A = this chain, B = another copy of it.
Amino acid sequence: MVNLEVKTSVNSYPIYVDENIRHQTKHFLPKKYSVIHIVTDKRVADLYLDDLKESLEGHPHVFHSIIEEGEKSKCVADFEYLHTRSIQFGLDRESLVIALGGGVVGDLAGFVAATYMRGIDYIQVPTTILAHDSSVGGKVAINHALGKNLIGSFYPPEAVIYDVQTLQTLPAKEVRSGYAEIVKEALIADKGLFDNIMQTKLSQVTNDTLKDHIFRGIKIKTHFVQADEKEKGIRAHLNFGHTLGHALEAKYGYGELAHGEAVAIGMLFAMEVSNTIYSKNLPVELLYKWLKDNGFPLLIKEINIDSLFNQMKLDKKVVNNQIQLVLLKDIGNPVTLELSDEDLQNYLETFINKMTKI
């Protein structure tokens, strides 16, 4: 088993990564809890809820709630529903929430824990590759009809228990979505990892490679989170590819394009802009080819540039109405640049034209 310790302003928590550790959950709990409330979604419940409950056998008060799959569950109604369930199950300030699932479950259950009686403990048990990103760093949130993750908190978990065995059941789309975030981490911090991934065929990835890539991704994420927990500075570099990515996700209605698939397009955009502004020669073509070979949807159809631009301006990183775009001076050397509306619109137009013609 590999593990890491993340230090935050309010606690310090371990991340465990290994095969089949979901069966030992009880041993990873940092203390005794009065009541445990497992939150999961329908797909994951069918696969792993029994395993998790069995691993907590002997605890007298273990309950669970099952939400619908998908981004639409990160809403105010489900947030309130899980509070209601927590009250009904008798959770108090010495109780625990366990988020068993992907990013949606982690963000939603984490935000419920962050706000239940002004905050109780929670543990992340991620079951997707993408969740290697969202489960580390303590950013929890729900969506607002007008934008993603607009309602939330910085609230770190007490532990992350990552059973890579659960990644074997992921659909190809989810594998792609998760890998896009590892590519992002590689691009902002680790050229070796980037080169390695570019030689990996996702449909044939082995468990050992997966474990290695995920662990290296988490290490990069952890580095940025520890350096800047509340996202006042360099943590924003983790947003590489996300300004356009989030806007595409919002426009394509949360789901049609998976999060990482949208971020992949956003990364191509940010690399193109970087090449133009800094006269660089970042490997856009190489990344484009790898994405294409691995089945990423890259053709943006019927997109309205004005509406996409307006959506980008709703990004949480907008300051004084100016978009802060994360760019690369080189692989492993990210910078944040404030772009004028006019420049951004031009770059966007050039990029979309290029993408629709390839």
Contact = CB atoms under 8 A, between A and B. Distances in A.
A118 B319 contact: no
B150 A83 contact: yes
Interface string A23-45: 00000000000100000000000
A154 B318 CA distance: 26
B141 A118 contact: yes
Given A153-B115, A153-B119, A318 B92 contact: yes
B34 A320 contact: yes
Interface string A137-152: 0010100111101111
A115 B141 CA distance: 8
A116 B151 contact: yes
Contacts of A117: 150, 152, 316
Contact of A320 (B94, B146, B320): B94
A80 B80 CA distance: 11
Nearest to A34: B320
A10 interface: yes
A118 B153 contact: yes
Interface string A78-107: 011001100110101110000000000000
A230 B144 CA distance: 28
A93 to B, nearest CB: 7
A319 B92 contact: yes
A92 B320 contact: yes
A321 B9 CA distance: 31
A114 interface: yes
Contacts of A319: 34, 92-94
A10 B79 CA distance: 26
Count of this chain's copies in the oligomeric assembly: 2
A335 interface: no
Nearest to A76: B80
A318 B87 CA distance: 12
A220 interface: no
Contacts of A316: 92-93, 117-118
A144 B116 CA distance: 10
Contacts of A150: 83, 87, 116-117
Interface in A1-15: 9-10
A119 B146 CA distance: 17
Contacts of A146: 84, 87-88
Interface in A114-167: 114-119, 139, 141, 144-147, 149-154
Interface of A: 9-10, 34, 76, 79-80, 83-84, 87-88, 90, 92-94, 114-119, 139, 141, 144-147, 149-154, 230-231, 314, 316-321
21 contacts: A9-B9, A9-B10, A34-B319, A76-B76, A76-B79, A83-B151, A84-B146, A87-B147, A87-B150, A92-B316, A92-B319, A93-B319, A114-B153, A115-B115, A115-B151, A115-B152, A116-B150, A117-B150, A118-B231, A119-B153, A119-B154
Given A84-B144, A92-B316, 15 more contacts: A9-B10, A34-B320, A83-B144, A83-B151, A84-B145, A87-B146, A87-B150, A92-B318, A92-B321, A116-B150, A116-B151, A117-B152, A118-B154, A118-B316, A119-B153
Closest 9 CB pairs of A and B: A118-B152, A117-B316, A87-B146, A76-B80, A115-B151, A34-B320, A92-B318, A118-B154, A118-B153
